[in-house]
């Protein structure tokens, strides 16, 4: 019998026990495992990373250690003074192994197929039992100073080979797309045993003097069917070229490439004879199909043989070293000048006088130089 205090037709809700949870309660889950093993974390706290000395890096480079070579090039490219000092110490230890490679500069307008050509050309050299190092210069942004450094991803075959070394480097604003430290990086690659060095420039149509001043052979890649071929590049670059190769000479484009080759070869004969006594040539090739790659290598070997016989090869390298010395000297002197106390304010003062017409350019420069 229901008690009179209870409402008719309504059931009494049972009271929850103190330890009883409702259906909406969340049971505690299992704690997440730590991302790093506690044992390894404790080991890291006591682990002191040993710094690799210049002597260790130099020994590794001379033995062909690619990891040590990469570390040394990173030091060369660094702007930190302590890194530069260490890089110079490494170079001093390996300089006796420098100079035993064929140095090839490759340039051309963007889209000419430089990376594809180097992939095909490098694969051919590997088949001939050569050891190849590619210093691919990537353009740096004038706004952010950053670079994509994607050339290595476009040279898949070479990047997998034990006898090939690919190092993308930022141009860092250098004219012609050659990084300031490219020459020292080339020396390190030679010391590591690479007998063929390729330097790929940005190819922005500006002066390629820098790459020309550090290689033995200068190869210019061109395209056919892109308009007036002889207007496609400045005369100064053509005068520096030891060989012009019309790339993408395959399929329906082959007849256009052959016609362009004739036009370029005729134009080359109009230039003064180079000091090397080598007659520049024009040829055709295909980076995708590999056509003409063997002919290009034969021409390079012919050039090396000719210039070594007439003495130009050694003389050219001596002149390149002198040019490198004077170029670096000017750069260091300029950096030292701007780092002097008070120079920044003096330069700002000269700028104001020039912009207001109160003085002349040469007068202000002489004043800043102390004359």
User: pTM for the complete prediction?
Assistant: 0.79
Q: Please, what sign has the CA dihedral across residues 31, 32, 35, 40? A: positive
Domains of the chain with CATH codes: 51-96 (1.20.5.170), 98-141+149-310 (3.40.50.300), 324-369 (no CATH)
pLDDT tens-digit readout, 115-129: 899 999 999 999 999
Distance (Å, rounded) from C-alpha 246 to C-alpha 149?
25
Q: What is the pLDDT of residue 160?
A: 87
Q: What DSSP line would sit under 290-339, residue for residue?
A: -TTHHHHHHHHHHHHHHHHHHTHHHHHHHHHHHHHHHHHHHHHHHHHHHH
The backbone torsions φ and ψ at residue 178, rounded to the nearest 5 degrees and listed phi first, read: -105, 120
Q: Which residue has the higher pLDDT, 173 or 246?
A: 246
Cα-based distances in Å from 235 to 70, 108, 238, 264, 271? 37, 13, 5, 11, 9
| Parallel/antiparallel/unpaired status of strands 217-222 and 164-170 | unpaired
Distance (Å, rounded) from C-alpha 187 to C-alpha 262?
37
Distance (Å, rounded) from C-alpha 161 to C-alpha 166?
10
pLDDT band at 328 (very low <50, low <70, confident <90, very high): confident
Distance (Å, rounded) from C-alpha 66 to C-alpha 125?
19
Cα-based distances in Å from 12 to 6, 8, 15, 16, 263? 8, 11, 9, 12, 104
Distance (Å, rounded) from C-alpha 121 to C-alpha 96?
29
pLDDT tens-digit readout, 96-122: 999 999 999 998 887 888 889 999 999
Distance (Å, rounded) from C-alpha 354 to C-alpha 172?
29
pLDDT tens-digit readout, 303-321: 999 999 999 999 999 999 9
Q: Which tokens is 1 given? A: 């019998």
Q: Mean per-residue pLDDT for 326-353? A: 88
């Amino acid at each position: 019998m229901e008690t009179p205090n209870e409402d008719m037709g309504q059931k009494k809700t049972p009271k929850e026990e103190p330890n009883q949870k409702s259906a909406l309660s969340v049971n505690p889950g299992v704690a997440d495992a730590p991302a790093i093993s506690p044992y390894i974390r404790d080991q890291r706290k006591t682990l002191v990373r040993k710094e690799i000395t210049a002597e260790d890096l130099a020994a590794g480079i001379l033995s062909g250690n690619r990891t040590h070579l990469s570390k040394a090039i990173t030091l060369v490219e660094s702007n930190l003074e302590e890194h530069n000092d260490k890089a110079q110490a490494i170079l001093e230890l390996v300089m006796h192994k420098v100079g035993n490679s064929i140095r090839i500069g490759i340039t051309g307008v963007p889209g000419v197929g430089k990376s594809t050509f180097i992939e095909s050309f490098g694969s051919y050299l590997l088949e001939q039992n050569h050891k190849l190092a590619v210093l691919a210069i990537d353009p740096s942004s004038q706004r952010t100073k950053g670079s994509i450094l994607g050339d290595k991803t476009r040279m898949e075959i070479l990047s997998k080979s034990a006898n090939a070394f690919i190092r993308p480097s930022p141009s860092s604003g250098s004219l012609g797309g050659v990084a300031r430290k490219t020459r020292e990086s080339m020396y390190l690659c030679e010391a590591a045993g690479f007998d063929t060095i390729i330097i790929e420039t940005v190819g922005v149509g500006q002066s390629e003097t820098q790459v020309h001043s550090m290689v033995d052979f200068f190869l210019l890649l061109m395209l056919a069917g892109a308009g007036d071929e002889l207007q496609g590049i400045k005369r100064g670059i053509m005068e520096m070229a030891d060989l012009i190769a019309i790339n993408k000479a395959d399929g329906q484009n082959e007849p256009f490439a052959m016609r362009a080759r004739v036009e370029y070869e005729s134009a080359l004969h109009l230039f003064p004879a180079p000091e090397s006594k080598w007659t520049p040539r024009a040829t055709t090739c295909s980076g995708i199909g590999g056509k003409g790659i063997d002919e290009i290598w034969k021409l390079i070997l012919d050039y090396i043989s000719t210039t070594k016989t007439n003495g130009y090869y050694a003389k050219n390298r001596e002149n390149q070293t002198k040019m490198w010395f004077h170029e670096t000297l000017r750069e260091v002197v300029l950096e030292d000048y701007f780092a002097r106390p008070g120079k920044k304010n003096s330069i700002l003062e000269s700028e104001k006088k020039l912009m207001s017409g109160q003085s002349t350019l040469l007068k202000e420069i002489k004043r800043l130089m102390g004359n």
